[in-house]
Amino acid sequence: MEQTANTKEERREEQQIMENASASDRKETEAAKAEKEMRARAEQLKIAREVALDGKGKMKLKTPVRSNDKEYMELSYDFAAVTGMEYVQAMDSDPSASGNYGISTKQAITLFAIAAAKKTDQVDKQDILRDLYISDAIKAEELAKLFFNVASAEANQRISKM
């Protein structure tokens, strides 16, 4: 009987050890997964910054933009090709924006639409503004704001005192 009690106790101890080991393994797996996700996000940010510095790229769309009876699932864009007057047009698209060294969502999406219309054949700014749905608009806003901020910081380096 005493041997059976010891065996039951030993089994409980072994089970507890296994449960603790499993919890430890899960934590290690979760930590490894979190680290992998952080590295992937850091790589995405690095690429986004490089794209922002260049101002050119392509964006795959979740929902197509329609123009001239054709659907486009990808837009090319080039922020560097936007003229000063087109930039003014984008800034004027949101009269309620404060203009304090940043751009509003409406201004950013308009700026993206202008940049994309310049590089995507047969698509104009109005097509993009009409058909850009939320998930694509969020990314378009992010790209335009990122370019705006990076270009502004880069331009500051070209300014000097006389």
Find the mean pLDDT for residues 81-106.
Answer: 89
Per-residue confidence (pLDDT) for residue 124, from 0 to 100: 95
Identify whether the C-beta of residue 58 lies closer than 8 Å to the C-beta of residue 76: yes
**114 has a pLDDT exceeding 60:** yes
Q: Is the dihedral of CA 105, 117, 132, 149 positive or negative?
A: negative
DSSP assignment of 54-84, as one string? HTEEEEEEEEEEEETTEEEEEEEEEGGG--H
**138 has a pLDDT exceeding 90:** yes
Instruction: Give the Cβ contact number of residue 106 at 10 Å.
Output: 17
17 pLDDT band (50/70/90 cuts)? confident
d(CA 118, CA 106): 18
pTM of the model: 0.69
Residue 123's SS3 state is coil
| End-to-end Cα distance, the chain | 97
d(CA 39, CA 51): 18
Residue type, 146: L
Per-residue confidence (pLDDT) for residue 137, from 0 to 100: 97
d(CA 41, CA 61): 20
d(CA 147, CA 82): 12
141 pLDDT band (50/70/90 cuts)? very high
Residue whose structure tokens are 């502004």: 152
d(CA 139, CA 87): 19
Find the mean pLDDT for residues 26-50.
Answer: 80
Residue 122's SS3 state is coil
The per-residue pLDDT of the chain, averaged, comes to 86
Per-residue confidence (pLDDT) for residue 9, from 0 to 100: 79
Per-residue confidence (pLDDT) for residue 3, from 0 to 100: 54
1 pLDDT band (50/70/90 cuts)? low
